[in-house]
Structures are given as C-alpha cells and as structure tokens.
C-alpha cells in the first residue's frame, strides 16, 4: 500500500502538464481601475472557516517514509506562508498505526494551522472520525475516486454503498465534510445531489492537471488507455453550476499559478487547491526557495486583482470574463444535462 503511494508520487512527477481549459478563459480588461495594490485582500471564507490565503496544499501523501519527508516539508511551507493543508488518504494509517507519523507531522510542525484529513468514499463516520482524531483536523475530505479505483489494478470495484455511506457521514461526522474528486471533475447532477444530502463543501477537482487514469495505467500490465483524459475540466465543473448552488465550491485540478487561481475564484470557487504544483515545488526546490515562490504567488494574485479593479475575493467572484467558444459550448451542454 505504501508502495502504491510512492508509485503515485513518482508517476505524478513524471506526468507532463500542458495547456488546459484555464487557457480558454480570459478576463475583461479594465483600463482605469480604482484600486490600490496595498488594499487588496486575498482572504476568503470556506464553510465555517476563514482562510487568509485563498489557495491551499491539497490532498496527496501519507503512509510511507517518502510521504513523511514530503508532508513535513509541505507543513513547514504551509506554516511559513499561512496555507491550509490537507493530508493524503488516511485509510492506510487507520489499518496500520505504525504509519501514523506521516499524518501527525502536520500538527507537530504547524499546530495552529487549519488542517483537512482525507479518507476515501465507502468509509463510515467511525473511520472519518478516527482520521480526524489522527490528524487533529478541522474538516475531513471524502474523496470520490471511482474511476481511479476501476483502473487501479488492486482497486475496489464495489461502489454500491457510497451514497448511503456519505449520508451516514453527514449525520455523524464530528467535523464539516468536503466531498472531493481526484482530477475527473464533477457534473452539475452530482453536485446538486450532494447538496441534497446535506454536503456543504465540494472540491470539484477537475481534469486538466494530474490524471489518475494515466497514473494507474502506468501500474497496469494491460492499460485501460481509453480512460486517459476522462472527465470534466475544473472550469466546466465550476461554470456549469455557477449561481445554481449554495454549496461552497473548491477548485482543484490543473491549477498552474496565480492567473489560474484568479480565474478559478472568478468562476465561482471559494478556495483553490493545488497538488502537483506543490509536489513539484518541494521536490525540486529547497524550503527557502519554495517559501519565496509561494509568497510571490500571493503577490501575483494581488496584482491580478488590482488590475481587474477588485478589492477582495467576493468582488473577484463577480468580475467579468469571456470564454472560448468550445469551452462555452461544453459548459452549455453540461448545463442541459440537469
Ligand atoms: C501524488 C498524489 C497523491 C494524491 N493522493 C490523493 C489522496 O490520497 N486523496 C485525494 O483526495 N486526492 C489525492 N490526490 C489528488 C489531488 O488531491 C488532486 O485532486 C489532483 O491531483 C488534481 O490536482 P492537481 O492537478 O493540482 O494535481 C493525489 C494527487 C497526487 C499528485
């Protein structure tokens, strides 16, 4: 199992990312803003939480020696740059407490930080609450990764209890829940059905960045290559429900920098999660360099907001943008599916 986690890290780092749907969205330019850079406020709210930084380190690792080293560095980065951090799936530690260290390290390094635990769908509230206790988490992500499980050689193939399990978790989990995709995006039907069972925060984690079908296919003797590239992009998912849901949406999947973060917030996300970006950053640069780069990311976001004439994330969510025809066409078609 910890070998699987290390495989995921290795293949995620090997995966090439190019253009994605964020390149098909452009802001409407304001020639005469009325803002001042020093007045820009990038804080946001997500469910019951206030985040000083609207982007965060999304779920990745835990459960191996390599994960411990990565999570420790990420936790120091989160502390230095005031970022929320999510752990990778805690299921492995619930089965084998010897692997706890790579999860408890977050709280050890950054006790005052906001933390999300993570478990897979199919677990009941008992396991969710155990993961929350392990991480001393303020919220728990429940990842819905059916497609990944199908492609994963050793993956689960029975999803028949997932909706009932989720409903039970909504009733009995001790912290707020975030239902989260893993890079395949979420349809309006799924988002509204989750809203209907009482889920208040959803990470649409869309296609355009890390592709877990491709990663699992690298681990298969007979790859199911037709699943590569599957799903809805992060922007398709966000734009197809913009103004139609009261759930707090998180954008993740294919976020490459400050401009993508700004676009995701303008498309309706309350916060933005980055995984492969941070994995690459801490794998390739020192902690000091990583801190400088992330602080620059915050400054870049402020500059973009200033030129867009928006003072805060609330105003950014109402700013005007245009989309390329093919993106708009796909969003319109998705809207027609519910
Ligand atoms: C190495 C690696 C491990 C991951 N492990 C998990 C996990 O345990 N739980 C989860 O919800 N998502 C996991 N993810 C998925 C990410 O949280 C995210 O949804 C996906 O990578 C898309 O974001 P990105 O394009 O910024 O990487 C993992 C991603 C990577 C790169």
- Taking the domains of the chain in order of start, what are their residue ranges? 2-335
| The residue to which tokens 């649409």 are assigned | 204
Q: Which residues contact 41 (CB under 8 A, 6 or more apart)?
A: 311, 312, 313
Percentage of the chain modeled with pLDDT above 70: 100
Quick: pLDDT tens for 95-133.
999 999 999 999 999 999 999 999 999 999 999 999 999
Tell me the C-alpha distance between 246 and 261, whole Å.
21
pLDDT > 80? residue 30: yes
Ligand 1 site, residue 179, Cβ cutoff 6 A = no
Please tell me the residue having the least CA distance from ligand 1 atom 14.
60
In the chain, what is the greatest distance between 2 CA atoms, to the nearest angstrom?
59
Q: Which residue has the tokens 């009261």?
A: 246
Residue range 318-327: mean pLDDT, rounded: 98
Alpha helices in 142-185 (DSSP H): 146-151, 162-172
**What pLDDT is stored for residue 37 in this prediction?**
98
Give the atom of ligand 1 at the shortest distance from the alpha carbon of 12.
31
Token digits for 201? 């925060």
> pLDDT value at position 338?
87
Please tell me if the CB atom of residue 234 comes closer than 6 angstroms to any atom of ligand 1: no
- 279 pocket-lining for ligand 1 (C-beta < 6 Å): yes
Instruction: Give, using CA atoms, the residue closest to atom 19 of ligand 1.
Output: 182
Residue from 15, 139, 183 to probe ligand 1 pocket by mutation (most atoms less than 8 Å from CB): 183
Block residue for tokens 């390094």: 109
pLDDT at 2: 74
pLDDT tens column, 57-84 = 999 999 999 999 999 999 999 999 999 9
338 or 52, greater pLDDT: 52
Residue 56, helix vs strand vs coil:
strand
Partners of residue 27 on adjacent β-strands: 321
Residues 334 and 232 sit within 8 Å (Cβ to Cβ): yes
Averaged pLDDT score across all residues of the chain: 97
CA of 91 to the centre of ligand 1 (A): 15
Whether the predicted pLDDT of 272 surpasses 70: yes
Name the band, by pLDDT with cuts 50, 70 and 90, for residue 207. Answer: very high
The count of other CB atoms within 10 Å of the CB of residue 39 is 11
In sequence order, which residues have a C-beta less than 8 Å from that of residue 12 and are 6 or more positions away? 60, 210, 215, 275, 276, 279
Q: pTM for the complete prediction?
A: 0.98
User: What is the CATH T-level fold of the domain 2-335, as seen in this structure?
Assistant: TIM Barrel (3.20.20)
Atom of ligand 1 nearest to the CA of 9: 1
Please list the residues that pair with 115 across neighbouring strands: 85
Inter-axis angle of helices 125-135 and 101-109, nearest 10:
50
321-323 and 25-27: which strand pairing? Answer: antiparallel
pLDDT beyond 70 at 1: no
Question: Computed over its alpha carbons, how large is the radius of gyration of the chain?
Answer: 19
């Amino acid at each position: 199992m910890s070998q699987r986690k290390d495989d995921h890290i290795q293949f995620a780092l090997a995966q090439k990312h190019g253009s994605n749907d964020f390149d098909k969205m452009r802001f409407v330019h304001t020639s005469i803003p009325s803002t001042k850079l020093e007045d820009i406020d990038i804080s946001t709210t997500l469910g019951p939480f206030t985040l000083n930084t609207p982007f965060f380190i999304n779920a990745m690792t835990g459960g191996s020696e390599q994960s411990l080293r990565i999570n420790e560095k990420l936790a120091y980065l989160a502390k230095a740059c005031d970022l929320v951090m999510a752990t990778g799936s805690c299921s492995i530690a619930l089965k084998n407490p010897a692997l706890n260290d790579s999860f408890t390290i977050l709280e050890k390094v950054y006790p005052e930080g906001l933390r999300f635990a993570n478990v897979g769908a199919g677990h009941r509230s008992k396991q969710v609450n155990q993961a929350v206790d392990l991480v001393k988490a303020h919220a728990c992500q429940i990842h819905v990764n059916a497609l990944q499980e199908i492609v994963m050689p050793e993956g689960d193939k029975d999803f028949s209890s997932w909706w009932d399990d989720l409903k039970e978790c909504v009733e009995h989990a001790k912290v707020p829940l975030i239902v989260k995709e893993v890079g395949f995006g979420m349809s309006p039907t799924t988002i509204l059905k989750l809203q209907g069972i009482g889920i208040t925060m959803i990470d649409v984690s869309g296609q355009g960045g890390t592709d877990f079908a491709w990663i699992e296919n690298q681990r298969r003797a007979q790859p199911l290559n037709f699943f590569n590239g599957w799903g809805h992009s992060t922007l398709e998912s966000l734009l197809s429900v913009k103004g139609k849901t009261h759930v707090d949406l998180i954008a993740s999947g294919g976020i490459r920098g400050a401009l993508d973060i700004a676009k995701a917030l303008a498309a309706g996300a309350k916060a933005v999660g980055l995984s492969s970006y941070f994995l690459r950053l801490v794998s390739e640069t020192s902690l000091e360099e990583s801190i400088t780069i992330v602080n620059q990311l915050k400054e870049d976001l402020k500059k973009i907001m200033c030129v867009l004439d928006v003072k805060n994330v609330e105003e950014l969510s109402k700013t005007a943008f245009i989309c390329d025809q093919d993106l708009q066409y796909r969003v319109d078609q998705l809207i027609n599916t519910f």
